[in-house]
Amino acid sequence: MSPTIFMIIISSLATGTIITMISHHWLLAWIGLEINTLSIIPIISTTHHPRSTEAATKYFLTQAAASALILFSSMINAWETGTWDITQLSSMPSCILLTTALAMKLGLVPMHFWLPEVLQGSTLMTALIITTWQKLAPMTLIYMTINALSTTILLLMGLAST
């Protein structure tokens, strides 16, 4: 991969994370998560090996499903509350869906089976990016909605993941 293309992909990775971190609107946060997902796919599949292609496919499918759940959760919340504000999460079904989606994005215990397989098909630097940088945006969403999410469930998932 040429250095110019690599820098564009890395900058789009950073841009997607920053968009999600500074947004207060669900749609903008979702767009940031999607930019993040789409910019890591070429990084995962840089080595032309069937394992890396499989890892990129598994990563994409899992993250796309989690993003769809986040979008569905925000639509349910907007339907019930009339606002798309991230901090105004008050609907119980949307809280449950959001917790599930963020657990999928983070690779927490009930939905963690994709993470070891993706890491096995990736290079060491790519695995480092996946396990650190890619977790910043979902953790920011957890931080912004912590008042509405179940602290007990989040703690149980975190403890079980360790």
Torsion sign across C-alpha atoms 69, 89, 84, 106: negative
**Residue 110 scores a pLDDT above 90:** no
Task: Give the total number of structural domains in the chain.
Answer: 1
Cα–Cα separations (whole angstroms), residue 87 to 31, 52, 133, 140: 17, 37, 23, 12
Mean pLDDT of the chain: 94
**Domain limits for position 156:** 3-161
Q: Which residues partner with 85 through β-bridges?
A: 25
**Residue 1 scores a pLDDT above 90:** no
Q: What angle do CA 41, 23, 141 make, to 5 degrees?
A: 70
Please tell me the distance from the alpha carbon of residue 20 to that of residue 136, in angstroms, as a whole number.
Answer: 9
The percentage of residues in the chain with a pLDDT greater than 70, rounded to a whole number, is: 100
The residue with tokens 């993941």 is 161
* Residue pLDDT, tens place only, 82-109: 999 998 898 899 999 999 999 999 999 9
Task: Grade residue 55 by pLDDT with cuts at 50, 70 and 90.
Answer: very high
Q: Helix, strand or coil for residue 155?
A: helix
